[in-house]
Each structure stands twice: as C-alpha cells, then as structure tokens.
Amino acid sequence: MQLIPAFLAGAALLATSAAYADSRVFIVANQPDGYGIDLCLARSEKCGAPAAAAYCQSREFAQAVAYRRVDPDEITGAVPKTNGSACAQGVCNEYVAITCQR
C-alpha cells in the first residue's frame, strides 16, 4: 500500500520537472538598429544576453538559454529565398535564433 503514494509523488515530481524543462526556439529577423544589440545576438556575445532574456520574458519564458545567428538555409520553408542569395538590393536577410526556457 505504501507503493501507491510513492508512485504518485514520483509522478508529480516528473510532471513538475517536465514543465520546467519546456523550451522553445524563436527565429527573429536580425535588423541592424545602430545600437549593436543585433551584432551581440548574432555573434552569441555576452552583450546580447539582456536582449535575449527580455525577448524570452516578453513571451512568458523565464530565461534565454542560447542565442545565435541562423543561416536562412537552416530555416525550413518559412523564409523566402531571393534569387538564391541572402542579400537583394543591398538588404541582407539575417536571422537570430533565441532559445527560451520556462
């Protein structure tokens, strides 16, 4: 009989840890704004951490666990190609992946 409460406690702990392990990757257009945040995010530098954290928190996630530049070829079907090039008419399409965790 003591096995049932122990099993229920273990199941509750597992469910709780699974909820905290929830993570999601957001692909964000990297638009140079003159402040350098875009470069920090794209280069995975420490200076990008506050921007990535704010992005995650604005989407109700607790923290950003990673951020990096993403090549358009890594994104399946969501980014239109411009004549086989990432740049068209002097405008480059660059993207940043931000991994958020609850």
* Main-chain phi, psi angles of 65, to 5 degrees: -100, -15
Please say whether the beta carbons of 32 and 96 come within 8 A.
no
| pLDDT confidence bin for 9, thresholds 50/70/90 | low
Nearest Cα residue to 31 out of 42, 21, 20, 22: 42
Q: Per residue in 43-88, pLDDT tens? A: 888 989 999 999 999 999 999 999 999 887 788 765 655 555 555 5
Q: Per residue in 22-48, pLDDT tens? A: 999 999 887 766 666 778 888 888 989
Question: The pTM is what?
Answer: 0.65
Q: Running DSSP on this structure, what letter comes out for residue 87? A: E
